[in-house]
Amino acid sequence: MEEKQGYVIVTPGTLLATLKKSGEGTFILNGKTYSKYFGIKREGYRISVIPFNQSYKPKRGDKIIGKIKDFNYPFFIIDIEAPNPAYLHLMDISRYNTRQEQIMKIYKPGLWIYSEVSELSDRVRLSMKFRESKILSGGRIAYISPSKVPRVVGKGGSMIKMIQDKTKCKVLIGQNGIIWINGDNTGLV
């Protein structure tokens, strides 16, 4: 373990506690808690490890950005930068009674969307029915590690609001680490 400015950097297999205090990013072996990842140790009621780099693990209710890859009736297949693609059912696209022909004219491979993880079973299912969901046209896409999303957003959205105010750009960040930036100063973000 290496300690830097108030936080502790750990590697996989590092002993974190001699008690069972397992949180995210840890495992228990012989009654002791160990790190699963290379990352930062966080202590509270439970001990957890925030990995420096990790692929996105979807959770119900996550707001994410994804790219339509294909259509296999009745699902659009969406790349969300996770080990497996997500699926957007035709019935989960609009809050309004929109005809399938209209949807097929708009939703095509290559289109970026901002949506919500609505269901986790053997596959990740998305919904475009929440209020903020939208098609992302124009702008540019950037990527960060999903573990860095909370730091970029800031407490209560303070960091992202400051970025938007200073650059006069619209910025959407998905929990999956995909960022959409739109405006005249996208190079500043």
Residues facing 88 on adjacent strands: 76, 126
Which pLDDT score, from 0 to 100, does residue 189 have? 59
Burial 3-16 (b: 16+ CB within 10 A, else e): eeeeebbbeeebeb
Torsion sign over Cα 49, 161, 64, 95: positive
Q: What are the structure tokens assigned to 180, written together?
A: 């959409």
Report the predicted TM-score, pTM, of the whole model to 2 decimal places: 0.74
In this structure, the number of other CB atoms found within 10 A of the CB of residue 26 comes to 22
Q: Report residue 186's pLDDT band, with 50, 70 and 90 as the boundaries.
A: low
Q: Is 115 left (phi over 0), alpha (psi -120 to 50) or beta?
A: beta
- For the cut 60, the answer to whether the pLDDT of residue 1 exceeds it is no
% pLDDT > 90, the chain: 30
Which of 6-10, 58-62, 109-113 is least confident? 6-10
Which pLDDT score, from 0 to 100, does residue 97 have? 61
Full set of structural domains in the chain with CATH: 2-51 (2.40.50.100), 63-136 (2.40.50.140), 140-188 (3.30.1370.10)
Per residue in 124-165, pLDDT (tens digit) is: 999 988 888 899 998 899 998 888 888 888 888 899 899 899
Mean pLDDT of the chain: 86
CB within 8 A of 175, min separation 6: which ones? 56, 59, 62, 63, 64, 146, 149
- For the cut 70, the answer to whether the pLDDT of residue 180 exceeds it is yes
Which pLDDT score, from 0 to 100, does residue 183 have? 84
> Within 13 Å and on the Cβ side, how many CA atoms surround 164?
16
Q: Report residue 187's pLDDT band, with 50, 70 and 90 as the boundaries.
A: low
The highest-confidence range among 5-9, 108-112, 143-147, by mean pLDDT, is 108-112
